[in-house]
A and B are shown apart, each in its own frame.
Chain A
Amino acid sequence: MLLSFENLSLTLRGRKILNQISGEFQPGRVTVILGANGAGKSSLLSCLSGLREPQSGSVKLNDRALLSLNGKERGRMIGLLPQRPDIHWNVDVKTIVGLGRLPHSGRWGMSAADHEAVARAMEATDCVDLAERKAMRLSGGEQGRVLLARVLAGEPQWLLADEPLASLDPAHQFDVLERLKSYAAAGNGVIVVLHDLTQAARFADDIMVMKDGAILAAGPRNEVMTAEIMAQAYGVEVQIGTSDTGEPLVVPVRRL
């Protein structure tokens, strides 16, 4: 299923956040959205997930307009991992992950299929041992895994994550990115907003770079991750090399 957007414009309080942008995402691949603060990344993500209605233009899933779907239908197809990790009540981990089934389950609680999906998601994120743990007893890394499990439990065809690496140490960053990557490898679309250029270069299949509400560049990683485009997007100089494992290695070296 193809996720695309066409002529998207969004104005908030008189400020143009997104300016007539179009583009598309491929399933089975990880697309990383890059761009400086205020470039419009999170706004694009909230339009893609149906949380915001653009003033003009539309988001389409194959050929259906996203806003013509009702909330539950949309929730089954598009899963969102918001930027701020919120867990307001001290509930246990399996309850949190179970909430991810909300768009699927009927009025009277969870079905057997729901429980299986929750179990799979907890397996995939190594949360099985945490099942009975209370939310307030989770470390930052565990919380990240649990919230990822919550989205995976909904088994959306498209998974949108807004800076999922914030406040994670390098080992947990790898964990989260590997899991997103394998979710994409299973045929789903994964769109991630990242700030870390090094991680972006390592994990992205495709990269979309935004600047001032417009799309500066989009395409396969090697075509977009160039010193020139990064200089335009962030105003920093990057060095691009190859790591021992053969992955591209991108390091910002100074401000231009």
Chain B
Amino acid sequence: MKGFRLNGLLVIALVVVMMLSLAAGNVWVSPTSWLGDDLSALIIMELRLPRTVLGAAIGAALGMAGATMQGYLRNPLADPGVFGVSASSALGAVTSLYFGFAVSAWLLPAFALAGAGIGMGLLALLAGRSGSLILFTLAGVILSSLAGSLTSLMISLAPTPFATTEIVTWLMGALTDRSWDDVQLAVPIIAVGMAFLFATGRSLDALTLGEDAARSMGVNVLRLQWFAVLGVGLTVGASVAAAGIIGFVGLIVPHLVRPFAGHRPSAVLLPSALAGALLVVGADSAVRILPSVSELRLGIAMSLLGAPFFMALLFKMHRELS
């Protein structure tokens, strides 16, 4: 039972890293003073715990969404951004910042989720009911670039330099100062999305043998397509709404997991969720501890980590192919 052991180890590692994430920061708070009613307990309960929980949820969401996308597109270089959901969700959030609506805590996430929803709707219109993989991927790429350019347009037309700064900073993604409100908003949506993603497992396995073989064994490719879109839309939409764009997690994590879990797509899903949570919580703790003038943005840290990894991956694939 390779899967059980791997998932068990990941759960243990995740718990340990979450504890460390609670303890670490500008002030070190040892577990003995987590429960109480002094200031350090307040830091844990109101600042670090929501941040850690949110980080774990977002990491799990992005990891699983990435594993699903790679399985669905049968492409190890796919990531949750391919459908254009994260870009359209970010556009929604940037819109609310542009108009200065972000004064209310609920408006920015609501706009981001609306952006994700509109993105998925456009995807449905563009790709239609064909179930065609190529059409679908192209529609996602187009959507992604459209949302990206509209975001740039908003930045360049921003009414005040303050709004520009706010937008640019937000886009970099971070978990700084997140509260229980953010957790309450994002976690249920992520959970529903992950349920959709988890349900695709067996169909993704069948797709290993190609679309015709999968369909001949009773896989409904249209249903699979919409489970993947809904799952990725909900998980990624909610993640972007809560923390901005945190790239590379969805791309890297399934690759980290495969040497241990095997390549069967359904076997990669759950470990990817756990490893994604582990990676984001770990990275978020690291940016807090790193001695720097102001806290390094998590999105930047992930990209700094991700780009070299991506290159190493390409080199490895190059070696295997030649």
Contact = CB atoms under 8 A, between A and B. Distances in A.
B216 A51 contact: yes
Interface stretch (B260-268, B269-277, B306-314): B260-268
Contact of B217 (A70, A75, A86): A75
B127 interface: no
Nearest to B218: A71
A100 B202 CA distance: 12
A75 B216 contact: yes
B68 to A, nearest CB: 14
B213 interface: yes
Given A80-B212, A88-B74, A150-B209, A95 B264 contact: yes
A81 B210 CA distance: 11
Given A49-B216, A154-B217, A89 B264 contact: yes
Nearest to B206: A102
A89 B220 contact: no
A87 B262 CA distance: 14
B262 A75 contact: no
B64 to A, nearest CB: 17
Contact of B213 (A73, A86, A95): A86
A40 interface: no
Interface in B29-63: none
Sorting the interface of chain A by its residue count into under 10, 10 to 19, 20 to 34 or 35 or more gives 20 to 34
A99 B218 contact: no
A211 B262 CA distance: 46
A62 to B, nearest CB: 19
A91 B263 contact: yes
B216 A79 contact: yes
A87 B218 contact: no
A84 B212 CA distance: 9
A67 to B, nearest CB: 13
B159 to A, nearest CB: 49
Interface string A59-87: 00000000000111111001111101011
B219 A71 contact: yes
Contacts of A238: none
Nearest to B215: A51
A82 B264 contact: no
A88 B210 contact: yes
A75 B209 contact: no
A88 B212 contact: no
Nearest to A107: B202
Nearest to A86: B210
B179 interface: no
A70 B215 contact: no
Of B217, B220, B264, most buried by chain A (CB within 10 Å of CB) is B217
Interface string A36-55: 00000000001001110000
Contacts of B202: 102
A96 B205 CA distance: 9
A197 to B, nearest CB: 26
Contacts of A222: none
Nearest to B219: A71
B270 to A, nearest CB: 14
Of B74, B202, B218, B265, most buried by chain A (CB within 10 Å of CB) is B218
A90 interface: yes
A103 interface: yes
Interface string A181-197: 00000000000000000
Contacts of A87: 208-209
Interface string B200-228: 00100111111011011111100000000
Interface in B117-163: none
Contact of B212 (A72, A82, A99, A100): A82
Given A51-B212, A91-B208, A103 B263 contact: no
Contacts of A92: 262
A91 B209 CA distance: 11
Interface in B212-253: 212-213, 215-220
A103 B217 contact: yes
B205 A99 contact: yes
Contact of A88 (B208, B217, B218): B208
Of B207, B262, B263, most buried by chain A (CB within 10 Å of CB) is B263
13 contacts: A46-B212, A49-B216, A75-B217, A79-B216, A82-B213, A82-B216, A87-B209, A88-B74, A89-B265, A96-B209, A99-B205, A102-B219, A147-B209
Closest 9 CB pairs of A and B: A86-B210, A71-B218, A80-B216, A75-B218, A89-B263, A72-B218, A82-B212, A88-B74, A75-B217
Interface of A: 46, 49-51, 70-75, 78-82, 84, 86-92, 95-96, 99-100, 102-103, 147, 150, 154
Given A88-B207, A99-B205, 15 more contacts: A49-B216, A71-B218, A71-B220, A78-B216, A79-B216, A80-B213, A80-B216, A81-B213, A82-B210, A87-B209, A89-B263, A92-B262, A100-B217, A102-B202, A102-B206
Interface of B: 74, 202, 205-210, 212-213, 215-220, 262-265
